[in-house]
Amino acid sequence: MAHKNKGSNAEQTRLAIIDAAIVLFHERGYHATAVRDVVERAGITKGAFYHHFDSKETLLQVIYQEYLDYQVAIFNEVVTHPASPREHLAELIACIILAVERYREHVTIFHQELRSFSQEYRGSVVKERSMMRHELEKVIRRGMKSGDFRQDLDVRVTALALLGMCSWTYQWLSRSGPDTGARIAESFASMVLDGMGA
């Protein structure tokens, strides 16, 4: 799985629970998977499960949050280093797609089980994704101002289209196929920059 094992027995148990849940939620679905199924696959006791997670829903949130935290962190890394608007946009496209490639099961589970998340948690996800959209909008506006991008672009719609296009690769991206995340990102960036170029 994408996370790193930090070595302690408690952390190993926690990661074993998460790994087991990712496999089961992805294969069977969240509602068809009971806590006992996760416990059996992880090779732990039910008491150990509840020591780390107070509910199955909390575990579901942790799985998606692992992906979201990684995505936001690398997004922030890109936007805070100096680069041209074209370079920044290509890098942001790449970081979305590469994060989906790395956490494909997490993203799939989120989209499959969206209604299973609490309204409060869905609201926090919307806030994080809005931050990503705003950063894309800033890059697009900067590119329009510099003359790198066309002046007739609808900034909000363009940012939403980019997020949707890149995020939806979870549906068909394959780690074992010839088209790696890096190759897809390069192809998307070329297509987008050609279409947006002044």
pLDDT tens by residue, 75-93: 889 989 999 999 999 999 9
Identify the pLDDT of residue 7.
Answer: 55
Mean pLDDT of 87-102: 95
CATH of region 55-196: 1.10.357.10
pLDDT tens by residue, 135-188: 999 999 999 999 999 999 999 999 999 999 999 999 998 877 778 899 999 999
How far from chain centre, in Å, is Cα 91?
Answer: 15
Distance CA(36)–CA(45), nearest Å, equals 9
Distance CA(59)–CA(75), nearest Å, equals 24
pLDDT of 111 > 70? The answer is yes
Number of H helices, E strands in the chain: 9, 0
pLDDT of 112 > 70? The answer is yes
pLDDT of 126 > 90? The answer is no
The domains of the chain are located at 1-54, 55-196
- If one counts every other C-beta atom within 10 angstroms of the C-beta of residue 144, the result is 19
Distance CA(173)–CA(84), nearest Å, equals 28
pLDDT tens by residue, 52-72: 999 999 999 999 999 999 999
Identify the pLDDT of residue 94.
Answer: 96
Q: What residues contact residue 166 under an 8 Å CB cut-off, 6+ apart?
A: 93, 96, 97, 100, 188
pLDDT of 195 > 90? The answer is yes
- The class level of CATH for 1-54 reads mainly alpha
Mean pLDDT of 191-198: 90
pLDDT tens by residue, 1-47: 565 545 578 889 999 999 999 999 999 999 999 999 999 999 999 99
